[in-house]
């Protein structure tokens, strides 16, 4: 039998700082999630399309 010699990689250290907010863009409220440590790293969607915290249980 051959020993398992698969290499184990070190965990990735990420210094990201992610924040979320609800903004009104004039057409309705949108949830915005952004990594403030990286330019252009954000997404947004209408609040109506988001899940509430109790829905995650």
pLDDT at 7 over 80: no
pLDDT of 38 reads 87
Dihedral, 20, 44, 31, 46 alpha carbons, nearest 10: -170
pLDDT of 4 reads 60
Distance between CA atoms of residues 18 and 33, nearest Å: 7
Q: Where are the domains of the chain?
A: 18-48
Average pLDDT over every residue of 5-25 = 78
Distance between CA atoms of residues 31 and 45, nearest Å: 5
Distance between CA atoms of residues 37 and 8, nearest Å: 28
Q: Is pTM beyond 0.85 here?
A: no
Average pLDDT over every residue of 18-34 = 91
């Amino acid at each position: 039998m051959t020993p398992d010699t698969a290499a184990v990689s070190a965990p990735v250290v990420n210094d990201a700082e992610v924040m979320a907010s609800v903004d009104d863009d004039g057409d309705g409220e949108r949830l915005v999630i952004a990594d403030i440590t990286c330019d252009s790293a954000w997404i947004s969607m209408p609040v109506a399309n988001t899940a509430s915290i109790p829905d995650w249980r």
